[in-house]
Amino acid sequence: MAVPLSYSLRNLWQRRLTTILTVSGMALVVFVFAAILMMAEGLQKTLVETGSYDNVVVFRKGSTSEVMSSIERKQASIVEMLPQVAIDQNGRRLLSKEVVVLISLQKKGDEKASAHSNVVVRGVEENSIPLRPQVKLVSGRLFRMGSSEIIVGNSIAKGFKGVGLQGALNWGMRSWTVVGIFDAGNTGFSSEIWGDVDQVMQAFRRPVYSSVIFKLQNPAEFPAAKGAIEADPRLTLEAKRETRYYLDQSEMMAKFLRILGLSLTIIFSIGAIIGAMITMYSAVANRIGEIGTMRALGFRRRNIMLAFLAESLLLGFIGGVMGLFFASFMQFITVSTVNFQTFSELAFKFTLTGPIVLQAMSFSLIMGLIGGLLPAFRASRMNIVEALRAA
């Protein structure tokens, strides 16, 4: 017959201080573990949602981001004529030739002169807006083509100085007025500034485009379009699906965060496992008499072992739930940092997903299990007579 679970529960309650201390140690480990995974997930999710599956990004072969790429006007026109490019109801091609540069802007809040960060300025055409259905204007209006007007993403408007509505930025010997703020949800576009491509190219003296983005007429035609672009001897270009392109840009950073998170939590969990072990050893030592009595009543060694294992698994369970409870509040936080790969500012949210919850809970239970294994084993090996004498 098994020892009832309530026995283990009551033991934890009986020694409240010790239980709270052990559980909070474990909860912190779970919190850190979950928080770092949530950060990596949020970064990746933001960049993946930036791309659309049926859009294609074309950039110069060998460059790893749009900023490094350059496409001559002639080459861009060749890409424009591809038969795979979708056409809208007005008969226009859904293709946009864009230029991407970085400018350095001062962050809000910090007075230090060094608190600058690189922000993406994207010169776009009229077609860029239908190509990015995520982008929605929240205040002001769109810029007029052919003027020095710009619209900014809401993460940039929130995080940087002088980019609010009607703010003016200076570059290329001109003043640029912010006429609108757009919200692109959890995507990289929320961390960008948009203006007319021809004006931006002129201001930065960049006679070449950075990338060409187009929508496929039929999403399945991607291999054909890719083949046509990469086989054309006049073009030294490469094509990727937009989703793939942005996923690649998050890879290095997400990997860095995951490795950091994993190595940290492994070290931390050693501390928490030791904590659980200490608690369980002392739980066993304080209850030698009880164990003897239970054995005398007819409970088997296996049952005793299971009872103590259940107790330490409960510790792990409570720790895991507590850690996740606090970690779930992190979802309200938005982090803004420079993505090493593109060298530009990117805002993203901590994101909690089902797999992260599962990973964190199993991690916590494993900590409890390892911590309780040896003490439970010791409890089950006790000799009945000696144990009863100790009481």
Partner 1 sequence: MMILKILFRNAFHNKLRSGLTILGIAVAILAFGLLRTVISSWYAGVEAASTSRLVTRNAISIIFTLPLSYNEKIRQIEGVKTVSYGNWFGGVYIDEKNFFPNFCVEPKTYLEIYPEFVLSPAEKKAFLADRKGFVAGRKLAAKYGWKIGDGVTLKGTIYPGNWDFVLRGIYKGRDDTTDETQFYFHWDYLNETIKKASPQRADQVGFYMIAVTRPDLSADVALAVDKTFNNSLAETLTETEKAFNQGFIAMSGAIVTAIQMVSFVVIIIIMAVVANTMAMTTRERIGDYAIMKTMGFDGRDITVLIFGESLVISLTGCLTGMLLTFPAAAAFGHALETFFPIFIVSTETLYLDVLAAILIGCLAAIIPTRQAIRIGIADGLRRIG
Could you list the residues that contact partner 1 (CB under 8 A)?
17-18, 21-22, 24-25, 28-29, 31-32, 36, 39, 60-64, 67-68, 101-104, 110, 112-118, 171-173, 204-205, 207, 236, 260, 264, 267-268, 270-272, 274-275, 277-279, 281-282, 335-338, 340, 343, 345
Q: How far is the CB of 105 from partner 1 (least distance, A)?
A: 9
Nearer to partner 1, 164 or 172 (CB): 172
User: Rounded to whole angstroms, how far apart are CA atoms 168 and 165?
Assistant: 9
Q: How far from 110 is each of 20, 49, 239, 281, 347, CA to CA, in Å?
A: 39, 30, 40, 50, 17
Given a contact cutoff of 8 angstroms between Cβ atoms, the answer to whether 71 and 237 are in contact is yes
Nearer to partner 1, 24 or 134 (CB): 24
Q: How far is the CB of 373 from partner 1 (least distance, A)?
A: 14
Nearer to partner 1, 141 or 381 (CB): 381
Tokens 């659309």, located at residue: 52
Nearer to partner 1, 71 or 85 (CB): 71
Crossing angle between the packed helical segments 242-286 and 301-329, to the nearest 10 degrees:
140
Q: How far is the CB of 52 from partner 1 (least distance, A)?
A: 25
Q: How far is the CB of 87 from partner 1 (least distance, A)?
A: 32
Among candidates 60, 132, 56, 68, which has minimal Cα distance to 100? 68
DSSP string computed for 105-145: EEBSS--STT-EEEEEEEEE-TTHHHH-TT-EEEEE-PPPT
Can you say whether the dihedral through the CA atoms of 321, 324, 326, 329 is positive or negative?
Answer: negative
Given a contact cutoff of 8 angstroms between Cβ atoms, the answer to whether 156 and 191 are in contact is yes
User: Rounded to whole angstroms, how far apart are CA atoms 391 and 289?
Assistant: 4
Tokens 């050893």, located at residue: 281
User: Rounded to whole angstroms, how far apart are CA atoms 183 and 82?
Assistant: 31
Among candidates 241, 259, 302, which has minimal Cα distance to 52? 241
Nearer to partner 1, 67 or 184 (CB): 67
299's CB contacts (< 8 A; 6+ apart) are 1, 3
219 CB neighbour count, 10 Å cutoff: 14
Nearer to partner 1, 175 or 218 (CB): 175
Q: How far is the CB of 122 from partner 1 (least distance, A)?
A: 14
* Identity of the amino acid at 186: N
